[in-house]
């Protein structure tokens, strides 16, 4: 199972800001790397192929992207797998093992539960059946052989946080939602914002494109 690998298009007004003096060189580099990272034909490097297949299916249900990105999507599963090979921020639930192990145990455990209940792997279930298992897990009602129900609920909270963080930090998403807080000054000086208030925009700020129905 794979997700669309075409990089989401970035609004031209946002691209112009990335090239302006309202952003530092280091921040510009980070945003460009996020935009240009290719997830085409991604192969998991830190999760097993079985766990990665479950992750692809799970992330598509946890964070549908069509309302914000219509022409392509961010491969959340690929970027989560890549993150599992980094040092991370050092935070995790005390009840869970380290992130990489927790992801592998939770995903393979979820798949095992699906097979025991339905005879199908989680990624082969109908969306409604996937959602049913997801809601049970979120409510603390799904245990696996390696992780109890409380641990699975905690891990699922981590998964949702990872999905949102990766999604909302992508420049295509920020452009679509009108998030421009990073454009507060270039190298060596701080420009900040002068017009403050709900619905108030400065002349240089690109308008949000909105959420599609």
Rounded-to-integer distance, Cα 79 and Cα 171, Å: 15
């979120």: which residue's tokens? 138
Rounded-to-integer distance, Cα 27 and Cα 34, Å: 11
- Angle among Cα 98, 2, 148 to the nearest 5 degrees reads 35
Per-residue pLDDT reduced to its tens digit, 16-36: 999 988 899 999 999 998 887
Per-residue pLDDT reduced to its tens digit, 136-148: 999 999 999 999 9
Range of weakest confidence among 60-64, 88-92, 144-148, 171-175:
88-92
């Amino acid at each position: 199972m794979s997700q669309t690998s075409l990089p989401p298009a970035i609004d031209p007004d946002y691209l112009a800001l990335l090239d302006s003096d309202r952003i530092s060189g280091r921040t510009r580099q980070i945003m460009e790397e996020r935009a240009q990272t290719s997830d085409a034909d991604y192969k998991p490097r830190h999760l097993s192929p079985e766990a990665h297949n479950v992750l692809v299916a799970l992330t598509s249900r946890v964070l549908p992207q069509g309302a914000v990105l219509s022409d392509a999507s961010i491969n959340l599963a690929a970027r989560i797998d890549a993150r599992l090979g980094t040092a991370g921020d050092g935070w995790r639930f005390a009840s869970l093992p380290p992130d990489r192990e927790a992801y592998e145990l939770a995903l393979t455990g979820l798949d095992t539960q699906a097979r025991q209940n339905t005879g199908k792997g989680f990624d082969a279930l109908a969306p409604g059946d996937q959602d049913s298992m997801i809601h049970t897990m979120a409510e603390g009602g799904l245990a696996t052989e390696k992780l109890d129900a409380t641990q699975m609920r905690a891990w699922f909270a981590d998964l949702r946080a990872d999905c949102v963080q990766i999604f909302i930090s992508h420049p295509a998403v920020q452009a679509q939602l009108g998030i421009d807080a990073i454009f507060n000054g270039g190298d060596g000086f701080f420009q900040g914002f002068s017009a403050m208030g709900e619905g108030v925009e400065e002349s240089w700020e690109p308008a949000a494109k909105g959420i599609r129905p």
